[in-house]
Structure 1
């Protein structure tokens, strides 16, 4: 059943991005959601994340290692998240907890005055291998689409 849900999400994303140079935040979030497992209460983060991927103003992916990622959905809109060059998590210690810890966007262009931390509503582990496979399939489909459009 999970495979069929993934294929449905992939088809929706493909249909939504055909002919478009880049996926929207909503399409990228749908792709990550389709490759995320069940909700967990927390995840372990030693030091700083190895990277992060904003998915609009209400979600992001935190990369703890190149092959380990966590989808964090927030309790509401997070000001500046979608264009911030950096972010930090408010966790104390090595555990990042849903409904307790927060995300704070950082960097130039991010409002310092009135910055409100964004509470993490849910945490789900991302199937990175499955995500990468789906991204490769999307790239191949986009190439085929462009080739088909270029052929008279």
Structure 2
């Protein structure tokens, strides 16, 4: 009887320590509520755009950073399942140093043929950036980004430190 009681107590303790993960639809719902609550305004274009790093939040949302103080929540037009597992990201931009919703896209190095078009871009403050990551994906880490101006031209790749690779 003591062993069973001890086993139940240990299982309850371990169950309390386990963190629950949100599914991608749940993450998207939390992000959309965050957008509404924080009154984030979508921008069509970001000029002087020079990527530093990125963080995947779900299969439809990610954060792109240009510096520790400037970050953008990006919504993709469709789900891109490989973003959560890719170590790096390519950004296709029609106009150099500019990111435009509806025209530009992101994709992973492993899957050049499948581009994820950018639907909306929301500027985030440093506080909003931290709060959103803490709620949706607290274990998320910044990942390096690679740039591509055109599939037929040489792409410029940079790691997270900004050094040419």
Q: TM-score range by the shorter chain?
A: 0.5 to 0.7
Shift of 1:55: 1.6
The 1:86/1:45 distance shift into structure 2, 3 A limit, reads farther
Larger Rg: 2
For structure 1, which segment, 92-101 or 30-39, has the greater mean C-alpha deviation from structure 2 after superposition? Answer: 30-39
Shift of 1:118: 0.8
User: 1:3-152 counterparts in 2 under 5 A?
Assistant: 20-21=18-19, 23-24=21-22, 25=24, 26-27=26-27, 30-31=30-31, 33=35, 34-35=37-38, 37-47=40-50, 49-91=51-93, 92-106=95-109, 110-111=110-111, 115-132=113-130, 135=134
Q: By percentage of residues, which structure has more helix?
A: 1
Structure 2 Cα separation of the partners of residues 36 and 62 of structure 1:
19
Tell me if the contact between 1:45 and 1:64 (Cα under 8 Å) persists in the aligned partners: no
Deviation per CA, 1:58-109, whole angstroms, max 9, x where unpaired?
A: 1111011101110110110124111111101111311100000000112xxx
Tell me if the contact between 2:49 and 2:99 (Cα under 8 Å) persists in the aligned partners: no
Structure 1 Cα separation of the partners of residues 74 and 131 of structure 2:
21
Structure 1 length-normalised TM: 0.61
Q: Size of the alignment, in residue pairs?
A: 114
Q: Match of 2:130, SS?
A: helix
Structure 1 Cα separation of the partners of residues 77 and 28 of structure 2:
19
Gaps of 5+ in 2: 1-15, 139-165
